[in-house]
Structure 1
Amino acid sequence: MSTPQTPMPQAVPPAWKDGYTSPIPVVRTHFGHALASEWTKIRSVRSTMWTLGVYVLIVLGFGLLLGLLIARSPSEYQGNESPLVPGFFGLLIGSVCLITLGVLTTASEYGTGMVRTTMTACPSRTRVLAAKAAVFFLVAFTVTLLSAGIVALAHTALLDGSGARQPTGEEWFKGTVGVSLYMALLGLLSLVMGTVLRHSAGAITIMIGVVLGPLVIAAFMYARSLEKLREVLFNYSIPSQLSVFYSDPSGPLGDSGPSGWDPLWIILGVTAVAFAGACALLQKRDV
């Protein structure tokens, strides 16, 4: 009978004694990596360039066109509104572009299924949403500030020497920086809505309704019993709040409406609450 042979011990590679050592450097991820990832996404898709391009054309086109019309008869330019008021109309119409881009920044990933790859690379869902929000806000604010600034400079130049009053420093700041912050927050609110609904068409439709719905509803409230509700809907609708940045800084748009910087604080509070709700939903939902 043959005796069983004891297997010879095999030499263990030195690198395997304490576990496998990857030749690729392993770096602990942080918020900066998420920001870099979201910046690459938002600048590398065609929808961003097309949407922002149309947005700039609308803001500049309507602003400059109204500026030219007003410059032809500056004596008829009356009221307490800021001389920069032509920029309001372009921003109001262009808000549809920012709403669309904000929704697509998040909802499009759910539509294509790429959100699974994103969450695998960065399991912290709150970090992903915060990175998307930060990148989008900076892009929206920068583009709006440049567009509104060009319109403001052009309109001021058109009215120069015509006898019309020139904008004050506060009007300059509110008509450029202030309104750019408001528009960026409106787009950010759309981004949060896209995260909550995960459906591009539905989120865009709801946000357009939020922008235009209250003003349209208020216009058809003829009953005297609904007068107070009509006034609230009118004063606190987004178009009316947006016009506050171009109205007389010494008073509100209406008798009881927001004034000064109130619209900015209102939309900031609404966006913060919506963002917190979206973060809570992200932790409970499956991707």
Structure 2
Amino acid sequence: MSTQQPPMPQAPAAPDWQAAPGGAYPGYTSPIPVVRTHLGHALASEWTKIKSVRSTMWTLGVFVVLVLGIGMMAAALVKAHSGSESLSGQTPLQLGFFGLLLGSMCIITLGVLTTASEYGTGMVRTTMTACPSRLRVLTAKAIVFFVVAFVVALAASGFVAMVQTSMLDGVGGAKTPSGGDWLKATLGISLYIALLGLFSLLIGSIIRHSAGAITIMIGAVLAPLVIALFMATQSLNKVREWLLEYSIPSQMSVFYDNSLSSSGPTGWDPLWIMLGLAAAAFAGACALLQQRDV
């Protein structure tokens, strides 16, 4: 007596847009265009982020207020004492140093927040998911931040330089600034501040903690000068001179031909020093970014 096997159940037919088991898709085309991503997409993303957060407007706004406010206040005070030779042999452009020194703290803060804040909020995971190339993300952040910081610093320093020159023309024995003086007091100092902010951005990427990175950068700006002022012993004289020569405030003052030390960097040397520091920090940030998890 033969036994009949029950028929095997048939798999349901696949829809037209879905491939049958073991088959291929029958000419389906996704409505979403597929394009190869590049650095331009990362730049557009970082530009959208940096212009959307409130910290950008606050830090840059305070920077402009400090540069213009302190610069004009210094010019007004010098003009009020026009009977003295307060600017004898000097250019009015040197008065812009004070506002830019304080304003650089705002650029440092914004640079750190551009990278470190994403680690604090967890947004970095979304960023790296959207763009798995970590080096591309860091490069885009660096480019966007540097351009923004440079443009704002150039506009603020250029404006305050023009106002100070017009207010103090021939006042207090001031001399007329040359073309080189103008170039260093506007373009040179703006590039230096933008590179200082970029260095802070990279330190933020290395530290991954906003408060810690900001503290380190403020200490790097102020600590060498403060320590040097208390080194009064003869045995520490060389260390004191080195700290005075290469402290960030002293390097910034070189662009106004008013260095805190008679030796050390001159001309455009501070720019190359900061560029070297930023390059070394970028290499370190790239290496750590590739090794560590987000």
Identity of counterpart residues, as a percentage?
Answer: 65
Matched, 1:111 2:120: yes
Distance in 2, matches of 1:268 and 1:81, equals: 28
Gap change, CA 1:180 and 1:2, over 3 Å in 2: same
After TM superposition, the runs of 4+ consecutive aligned structure 1 residues lying more than 6 A away are: none
Unaligned residue ranges in structure 1 (runs of 5+): none
Partner letter of residue 159 of structure 1?
L
Distance in 2, matches of 1:193 and 1:61, equals: 29
Which residue, 1, 16, 21 being the options, matches 1:13? 16
Which residue, 275, 278, 290 being the options, matches 1:271? 278
- Aligned twin of 2:169: 160
Q: Is the 8 A contact 1:63 1:89 kept in 2?
A: yes
Which residue, 172, 182, 186 being the options, matches 1:176? 186
Distance in 1, matches of 2:18 and 2:101, equals: 63
Distance in 2, matches of 1:181 and 1:62, equals: 20
Q: Is the 8 A contact 2:115 2:205 kept in 1?
A: yes
TM superposition score normalised by structure 2: 0.91
Pairing of 1:113-192 with structure 2 (within 5 A): 113-162=122-171, 164-192=174-202
Shift of 1:166: 1.3
Shift of 1:12: 6.4
Partner letter of residue 283 of structure 1?
Q
Matched, 1:40 2:48: yes
Shift of 1:72: 2.7
Other structure's SS at 1:254 match: coil
Which moves more between the two structures, 258-267 or 94-103?
94-103
Distance in 2, matches of 1:105 and 1:40, equals: 12
Distance in 1, matches of 2:5 and 2:191, equals: 85
Unaligned residue ranges in structure 2 (runs of 5+): none
Q: Is the 8 A contact 2:188 2:255 kept in 1?
A: yes
Distance in 2, matches of 1:8 and 1:62, equals: 80
Which residue, 260, 264, 268 being the options, matches 1:261? 268
Q: Is the 8 A contact 1:81 1:247 kept in 2?
A: no
- Aligned twin of 1:62: 70
Q: Is the 8 A contact 1:247 1:253 kept in 2?
A: no
Structure 1 residues 85-129: Cα deviation after superposition (integer angstroms, max 9, x where no partner):
111000101111111111100110000001000000001111101
Partner letter of residue 201 of structure 2?
L
Partner letter of residue 140 of structure 1?
A
Which residue, 29, 35, 44 being the options, matches 1:27? 35
Which residue, 220, 224, 228 being the options, matches 1:218? 228
Which moves more between the two structures, 19-28 or 187-196?
19-28
Q: Is the 8 A contact 1:80 1:247 kept in 2?
A: no
Shift of 1:83: 2.5
Partner letter of residue 13 of structure 1?
D
Structure 1 residues 43-81: Cα deviation after superposition (integer angstroms, max 9, x where no partner):
001111011111110010000100111223345234554
Count of residues in correspondence between the two structures = 284
Gap change, CA 1:48 and 1:88, over 3 Å in 2: same
- Aligned twin of 1:203: 213
Structure 1 residues 163-201: Cα deviation after superposition (integer angstroms, max 9, x where no partner):
632110000000000000000000111101110011011
Q: Is the 8 A contact 1:15 1:21 kept in 2?
A: no
Structure 1 residues 200-224: Cα deviation after superposition (integer angstroms, max 9, x where no partner):
1100000000000000000000110
Partner letter of residue 189 of structure 1?
F
Distance in 1, matches of 2:234 and 2:87, equals: 31
Distance in 2, matches of 1:164 and 1:218, equals: 31
Other structure's SS at 1:76 match: coil
Distance in 2, matches of 1:11 and 1:63, equals: 74
- Aligned twin of 1:92: 101
Partner letter of residue 85 of structure 2?
E
Partner letter of residue 167 of structure 1?
P
TM superposition score normalised by structure 1: 0.93
Distance in 1, matches of 2:149 and 2:89, equals: 29
